[in-house]
Chains A and B, each alone.
Chain A
Amino acid sequence: MMGVFFLLIIILMAWPNNIWAKGINPSLLKLDLKELLEIEITSASKYPQKVSQIPAAVYVLTSEDIQQSFSNFLPELLRDVPGVFVGRITSNDWAISIRGFNDRFSNKLLVLMDGRTLYSPIYSGVFWERQDLILDDIERIEIIRGPGGSIWGANAVNGIINIITKNAWNTQGPLLKASIGTEESILAFRYGNSSKNLAHRIYIKAREISSTKRYKDGQANDDWRSIQGGFRIDYNLENNKKFRLSGDIYEGTYGVIHSYFTFKPPYEIFFPKDGKGFGANILFRLEANNKDNYKGWYIQGYYDTSSTWRFSLLNWKNNIWDLEFRYFIDHHNIRWNFGAGYRLYDTDISGSNMYSFSHSNIKDYIFNFYLQSEIDMNPKIKLIFGGKLEYHENIGSNFQPTFRFLWNISNNDSIWGAISKAVRVPSKGELYIKGNLFASEINGVPFFIGILGNSHLDPEKLTALEMGYRKFFNKYYILDITTFLHFYDDLISMPLPKNPPEFHPKPWPHLHTYTKAENLLDGKEYGLELSFKGNINDKLNTKISYTYARLFLNSKKRTFWMGEELEKQWPQNIFSLENTYFINSRSYIIARLRYVDKIDSYKIPSYWATDIKFLYKFKNGITLSFTAENIFDNRHPEFGQSFAIRTPIREIERSFKIEIKFLK
């Protein structure tokens, strides 16, 4: 009898209390018009979480997330994302990576903006400080953890970050943004207009960022300033065809502490000197999309040029021409998706006093083809088979396959799994660099260790097993858990230099030896990524993310650099908790707490950081916000500089800023 009573109480408590009330689903009210049009009326999961149907570890930063972010820097937006490490090295560079191998040039992470690669073929990494568009113009950022080589091609080894900008139709009217604070000041202006079939926008953004502090003492000379402008035109043609043309141009001056080697003590001298960067790109895309069926195609091409002048690092100019075609169609419940692409790199390297290349001009091309099929076995089970074949002129061909499945256990939860292969092709630096890495003395004789590229390097390879679980709860919050096991082969590393060093009498008597890049390391890595995101109630929005990963490496020879120390370069635990409290329809307050574990290889201690933002929207289109970052922490280091760029460790300071935005 007690049992029955107990049961009744549970029934009453557990029964959805809105089952009798008609009401409007609050999660529907949050959507904008475009999102409403995406909802499938009879689908199992009513909330338009397309993400929940992707058998991969995907996290999306929506334009709302971006609006509510603390920072004006694109790389800083990634701090809340599970699986991603963001460490600010100096005021003007970041180490960002997914699942290990974090460095100034995190070479296993591919980053794209509207399909244009931001990954430098010279260093295998991304110049985050140069991606300085107005964040309000970003539609969303998709972060895909794990290998994506079967669609995105080489270098999408541990993840892909895909930045998608807003269509010009969605950026109409004027936007004016000014921000002033202890660490940065920004001025940005955008204007968009449209006629019946054509929409456009133009923008310009200028920023000035002050220096960080040097670890333990003094100024760091890493202040910087940049200006970037651009445009986008969207044109609706007949028969659901669309044409788009866009371009950006930027120039920046970045404070750097350089080092160079001498034949006399102290053998290595540090001095500050500004570096310069310039870049421009133009991109077109013609697409035909049938909104209702899975059928369409696009053709996209772009030209991208960038140059850098840095005294102690390389001076270079890189041009990319890229053409890509994709086609997708639904045929008997199998969604086919295929494409082909061609890319040409044209790189000029003029070298510096520290490094040069064995070739001063390198031209090489990549050709690729991919095919993917997505099969609905039944409404609950979906399978994906796919692969990409790539030919790199200077490296050879490679094939990156994937197999994935998704099982919808119920309307609200699903399990997915994947097995995939991905490769990273050696960077031009690894293939062709020449220079000195290290200077010291032996019995008063100057001693240098040089670095040599190796044009016979093989690509690095990854085989990955991944498994994930997602669950939607009522009123939409989503729990996402991913585990992975990665097996790496042929990772590129620098072995211990040849011993004994050779004596050279010229230009000054010195000892010299060198290390030459080789495919030395094998390894495995496992980890867990967890995120929880949703509206606890109408007033409170919560985001939690947690990342755990461990890497184990084995080397065929003893290594000098880029070796087993990578195991200790990744913080084992990363945690973030963010709460947005909507005070009323005009204002909200966001508080965030973050924890990043210690990084042993740079002797960087673990840290907690607290950030707060308050925002108020006035009736006339003006928004005022106040942000404080690292409130309880005077300053802390987040990451060290790469061995090849030997400058002191910096500390990120507490900062305050006020921002005013006008949007009509």
Chain B
Amino acid sequence: MKKPLFAFLTIFFLFFLFFHSLSFESINVEELEAVFIYKFLSFVYWPQKKEDISLCIIDNTPLKDYLLEFNGYPLQEKTIIVKDIKKSNLKKKIEICDVLILDNSIKNIKDILSYSKERKILTISNNHDFIKKGGMLEIFIKNKKLRFKVNYSLAKSLGIRISSKVLSLAEEVL
């Protein structure tokens, strides 16, 4: 009795492991968003020549882990530098950013956005109505798929050029 059971279990495990090892890693929202942001940035042109593009993420956003993976990746002819910044005294810290990722947890968002405007920072968030509040790129999920809205006129007024290739894919362009 013992032997057939053992044989059965071994075969079962072998099959299970075989198929399991061939199975897919799952892709979650954050991972997809992070890849999307990276790909999106390759269609953005900054007014002044820069060596690197600094992408700032505020601590504790779920996107952080995935975006950090892109640290040192090439972006156009530049390199992307991912910076992890703390929430306190945010205004001061974002001075060095070219791209800023914000999330719902930020309280004085209007303030930050108007400051980002002065500093010509590209702002990204999954905050609802983000582009209407003065943000530049709004990412959201609709029917299980990633969608985005762009405040093109704002970007243009700051001299940040976004390729028309991207605009044609946007859900909404302001």
Q: A residues engaging B (CB < 8 A)?
A: 3, 7, 10-11, 14-16, 18-19, 22-25, 28-29, 31-34, 36-43, 45-47, 167, 169-170, 172, 194, 196, 199, 236, 291-293, 410-412, 471-474, 585, 619
Contacts and interface: CB of A to CB of B under 8 A. Distances in A.
A474 B143 contact: no
B21 A41 contact: no
Nearest to A32: B39
B23 A411 contact: yes
Contacts of A38: 145
A167 B165 CA distance: 10
Given A37-B147, A42-B144, A619-B77, A28 B10 contact: no
Given A7-B10, A412-B24, A39 B145 contact: yes
Contact of A199 (B29, B143, B168): B168
Interface stretch (B12-20, B50-58, B79-87, B103-111): B12-20
A291 B6 CA distance: 52
A402 to B, nearest CB: 28
Contacts of B31: 24-25, 28
Nearest to B142: A292
Contacts of A19: 25
Q: Is the interface of A mostly helix, strand, loop or mixed?
A: loop
A39 B146 contact: yes
A548 B20 CA distance: 32
A474 B22 contact: yes
A3 B69 contact: no
Given A25-B25, A29-B35, 18 more contacts: A7-B13, A11-B13, A14-B21, A19-B25, A24-B66, A28-B32, A28-B35, A36-B36, A36-B146, A37-B145, A37-B146, A37-B147, A39-B32, A39-B145, A169-B168, A292-B145, A293-B143, A471-B22
Given A14-B17, A28-B32, A41-B28, A23 B69 contact: yes
B90 interface: no
Interface in B105-149: 141-147
A599 to B, nearest CB: 39
B88 interface: no
B21 A474 contact: yes
A606 B106 CA distance: 70
Contacts of A291: 147, 171
Nearest to B28: A41
Contacts of B43: 33
A169 B164 CA distance: 7
Residue picked from B20, B43, B165, most chain A C-beta under 10 Å: B165
Residue picked from B23, B36, B142, B168, most chain A C-beta under 10 Å: B168
B9 to A, nearest CB: 9
B168 A24 contact: no
A33 B169 contact: yes
Nearest to B24: A46
Contacts of A169: 164-165, 168
A499 B27 CA distance: 72
A24 B68 CA distance: 10
Nearest to B35: A28
A47 B13 contact: no
Nearest to B67: A24
Residue picked from B6, B17, B20, B29, most chain A C-beta under 10 Å: B17
Interface string B154-174: 000000000111101101010
Contacts of A15: 17, 20-21
A473 B22 contact: yes
B164 A14 contact: no
Contacts of B65: 22
B24 A411 contact: yes
A194 B34 contact: no
Nearest to B27: A46
Given A28-B32, A194-B164, A39 B17 contact: no
